[in-house]
Amino acid sequence: MNLHNKAKRALELMDLTSLNAHDTNESIIAMLDKIDAEIGLPAAICVYPQFVALCKAQLAERSFNSIKIATVTNFPSGKEPLEAVLDQTRQAIRDGADEIDLVMPYNQVIMGDPDTPWQYVRSSKDVCGEKVQLKVIIESGILSEPEVIAQASDIAILAGADFIKTSTGKVSVNATLQAAEVMLSRIKANNKPVGFKAAGGVKTVAETLPYLDAAERIMGQSWVNAERFRFGASSLLTDIKSVLASDS
């Protein structure tokens, strides 16, 4: 596969993301304006909950009907009360969210309490039901050790996650290839229909390639599609456009 096709593939697997403290309606619309249907559409848009309704209206206006709307809950600390997280989830779904990216209470995993993270994931999935996908952020950079990353992955998978996701992008270490390989291996070992999302720090087409290679090696080539594999990124689209422009 040449670089042009790799760039197109990265675009199709991307959750175009804006999770900044200074986000406004105008800045979210400006992000959507960067999407060029002629080169391809991302898999999803990922924004804070207060922008879900705006994105739903904007995507409909642009006839970008295939793009999912994702939002975040318990973000980024993983420390909000469960009922507040569930209320936020319900409101986001009412506003039009197709996917919920929940931050697992990852510090509880480190402290030896698997039950609290399990409850957050299970309760959130119960609210999401079958129509809304639940992507669980384990914050792999904080968990750090492979065995702890594996444990957090198992908790999320067994509690009903549709995806497991590396990172919030708000800590010093975000997506790493080592964490990705551990998480993908746990998906395979649990033998459940769970996807994987690498988020934080994947900024170029070249940086996507090791993750795709790992997923194909562990899960098989046909497994790697937007239903099962995503990149969470904000600046990746700029590099994708650069690659496609230079190759045109």
Fold of the domain built from segment(s) 3-246 = TIM Barrel (3.20.20)
Residue 66: its pLDDT value, please?
A: 98
In this prediction, residue 192 carries a pLDDT of 97
Question: CA 39 to CA 61: how far, in whole Å?
Answer: 19
Q: In this model, does residue 112 exceed pLDDT 80?
A: yes
- Dump pLDDT digits (tens) for 27-38: 999 999 999 999
pLDDT at 248: 64
Q: Phi, psi at residue 123, to the nearest 5°?
A: -65, -40
Average pLDDT, the chain: 97
pLDDT in tens, 75-101: 999 999 999 999 999 999 999 999 999
**Running DSSP on this structure, what letter comes out for residue 49?**
G
Distance CA 9, CA 146 (A): 29
Looking at residue 44, what is its pLDDT? Answer: 98
Q: How far apart are CA 28 and CA 94, in angstroms?
A: 19
C-beta neighbour count of 230 within 10 angstroms: 28
pLDDT in tens, 188-229: 999 999 999 999 999 999 999 999 999 999 999 999 999 999
Q: What pLDDT is attached to residue 100?
A: 99
Residues designated as active site: 101, 165, 197
User: What are the helix (H) ranges across the chain?
Assistant: 3-12, 25-33, 52-61, 82-95, 106-110, 115-128, 140-143, 146-159, 177-190, 205-219, 236-246
pLDDT at 116 over 80: yes
Label residue 177 by pLDDT band (50, 70, 90): very high
pLDDT at 1: 78
Are the C-beta atoms of 97 and 131 separated by less than 8 Å? no
Dump pLDDT digits (tens) for 134-152: 999 999 999 999 999 999 9
Q: Which two tokens stand for residue 143?
A: 């968990």
Task: Write the burial class of residue 31 (CB in 10 Å: 0-12 exposed, 13-18 middle, 19+ buried).
Answer: buried
> What count of other Cβ atoms lies within 10 Å of the Cβ of residue 108?
20
**Separation CA 81–CA 104 (nearest Å):** 12
Q: Residue 184: phi, psi to the nearest 5?
A: -65, -40
